[in-house]
Chain A
Amino acid sequence: MGRWLLRRTVQAAVTLAVAVVLLFLLMHVLPGDPLSRLEEGRPLTAAQTEALRARYGLDRPLLSQLGTFLSGLARGDLGTSIEYGRPVSTLIVERLPATLLLGGSVLLLNFTVGLWLGVRQAVRKGSTEDRWLTTLSLAGYATPSFWLGLVLAWLVGIEWRLLPPAGMRDPLAESGFLATAGDLLRHLVLPALTLSVVSIAGTMRYQRDAMLETLRLPYIVTARAKGLSEERVTWRHAWRNALFPVLTLFGLWLPVLVTGSVFVEAVFAWPGLGSLAAAAVGNRDYPLLMGATVLVAVIVVGANLLTDLAYAALDPRVRLT
């Protein structure tokens, strides 16, 4: 286990290092430099432009810039945002709680409702319900999250006035813990729902397939032959084993969630990392965009590593390969 753990961790570190260098080179692959967009509509003199370029190190050779970037990164320094004039790492830390709240809610919905629906589909394979759920989840997967968000904000938020169409808290809401939490929850519903609809298809499908695979095994026949209730066979016997493959899906699923959150947060003005990244795109604030992207890479690689470790802890066979 020790050697396997070490090898897997080193592998993750290499992946992350490659990703960071690739990102840096990618940013410089197309002509034009990050500051040229900043100058649009701003009366900067040549001297001011030069000073800005020197401040962001853009006047130095590419390799030297890469060195500065990497050594900063090693110290947790992601540079300074052009638009806000504050350290990128501070901005990210400020925005993290909102994103974790939204992402956590979506995760919860996926791994409760999504798994439950997937199991139901497998148990009733080929039924009308199974076919409808498949079509509906595929339709959800095919829906652009930003469009669904806009439609829900318009319909539920503005036409029907049921829920707030944007933001995270109402400045006029009553104070007190319960009122604040309730207000937060009301704001959370639409973005979390939007993001869940577009991401739940994968969870449902994997759970359905894994469950079908398990239901075919002889021990399920044995369990039924013993006269156990169908409920018990489904949940206690089959599902416990069919949950395994779905856990490995987490690493694949996370990029979908991160991508979706950029659009959903931007549409609902949810003050998290996604809307920060979208704003960075709009402002051409490349240190901020770069910082957010590096963080995403860290999260994806970290989640993959954790999934593998959890899987190895649960299933000893993995460690042998």
Chain B
Amino acid sequence: MTAGGGALRGVWRASSGRAGLAFLLFLVLLALAGPLFLPDPFRQFGLLELADARPSAEHPFGTDQLSRDVLSRVVSGARVSLAVAALAVALSVTLGAGVGLVAGYLGGAVDGVLMRLVDGALAVPRLFLLLLVLAVPERVPLVALIVLIGATGWFATSRLVRAEVLRIREEAYVRAAEALGASRRRIIFRHLLVNTAGPLLVTATLGVGDVILLEAGLSFLGLGVQPPTPSWGGMILDARSVLVTAPWVGIFPGIAITLTVLATNLVGDALRDVLDPRGA
């Protein structure tokens, strides 16, 4: 992965990209190592004396209404948010690349039908698609949530990949490969897919930020990650009722969301500057 390494170095050279990357690294390390030095996020420290306690040396972010440590919950919320976002984006990028490749390479009726479907799906904001699916069933397990978020996020990606494929397949080197008798599979994987990897990587990075916001929003509406699993959006939902008496319960998860999404977007922007100098 020399190309990937080069892109990473390029991101690191831009000051905003470096800030974003450093924060994300810090967050991932914290999410992984947090349990070693933080209290159990489910532990209740005393419902009577330690509910909604102010931030202190013992509990730097305070405690929530069930007397659980807010810092621990923010850190384990990071694990949930990052995992959901990474897996959902991996799914939607794969789907988008697949559909885009098929539509762009085959063209004709297949392309026509696929793109009409994508047009229709793009007419409805992603949140509403998810609300409709999630409002019906009794209880949505985390895996299903990830699959559904991923399955509603590939439409724009498929458009992007299709456009790239249409452009690249006219290039001389693809024509030459075809003339040399390269198989369809070789053309698709060796030439088309590899050359769309740059834009796909940018889309994926920016997509992580979008999914973190989306998952937080769904959890805030009670449709996302289900309690007692800690999630940033769910914590803000819980904090609503104690907004006035214990604002710290809701403020810290919100800051965590904002910083994380900002960091991924900074990395995504820096990545775009490196991989696609035209758009800079």
Query: Chain A: residues with CB nearer than 8 A to chain B?
Result: 11, 14-19, 21-23, 26-27, 29-34, 36-37, 135, 138-139, 141-144, 146-148, 150-151, 153-154, 158, 255-256, 258-259, 262-263, 266, 277-278, 280-282, 284, 286, 289-290, 292-293, 296-297, 300-301
Chain A contacts for B135, CB-based, 8 A: 34, 37, 280-281, 284, 286, 289
Name the residue of chain B whose CB is nearest to the CB of A21: B120
Docked pose: A309 CA to B144 CA in angstroms = 41
Complex contact A258–B125 (CB within 8 A): yes
Chain B contacts for A36, CB-based, 8 A: 138
Docked pose: A277 CA to B135 CA in angstroms = 11
Docked pose: A80 CA to B222 CA in angstroms = 24
Name the prevailing secondary structure of the B interface residues: helix
Chain B contacts for A33, CB-based, 8 A: 136
Name the residue of chain B whose CB is nearest to the CB of A134: B16
**Known: A30-B137, A278-B221. Is A144-B216 also a contact (CB below 8 A)?**
yes
Complex contact B120–A22 (CB within 8 A): yes
Complex contact A300–B258 (CB within 8 A): no
Chain B contacts for A278, CB-based, 8 A: 221
Chain B contacts for A30, CB-based, 8 A: 133, 136-137, 140, 144
Total residue contacts A-B, CB cutoff 8 A: 157
Name the residue of chain A whose CB is nearest to the CB of B125: A255
Complex contact A144–B120 (CB within 8 A): no
Complex contact A286–B136 (CB within 8 A): yes
Give B205-245 as 1s and 0s: 1 = Cβ < 8 Å from A's Cβ atoms: 00001000100110011110000000001001001100110
Complex contact B123–A26 (CB within 8 A): no
Complex contact A154–B244 (CB within 8 A): yes
Q: Return the contact of A18 from the options B116, B132, B213 (Cβ within 8 A).
A: B116
Chain B contacts for A26, CB-based, 8 A: 129, 132-133
Smallest beta-carbon distance A33→chain B, Å: 7
Complex contact A146–B136 (CB within 8 A): no
Complex contact A29–B133 (CB within 8 A): yes
Query: Chain B: residues with CB nearer than 8 A to chain A?
Result: 16, 116-117, 119-121, 123-129, 131-133, 135-138, 140, 144, 209, 213, 216-217, 220-223, 233, 236, 239-240, 243-244, 247, 250-251, 253-254, 257-262, 265-266, 269
Chain A contacts for B259, CB-based, 8 A: 142
Complex contact A144–B265 (CB within 8 A): no
Name the residue of chain B whose CB is nearest to the CB of A32: B137
Complex contact A147–B136 (CB within 8 A): no
Docked pose: A281 CA to B128 CA in angstroms = 10
Q: Could you list 19 further interchain pairs (A-B, Cβ under 8 angstroms) beyond the known A33-B136, A142-B265?
A: A15-B120, A15-B123, A19-B120, A26-B132, A30-B136, A144-B236, A144-B258, A147-B250, A147-B257, A150-B239, A151-B250, A158-B243, A277-B128, A281-B135, A281-B221, A282-B222, A286-B135, A293-B124, A296-B125
Chain B contacts for A296, CB-based, 8 A: 124-125, 128
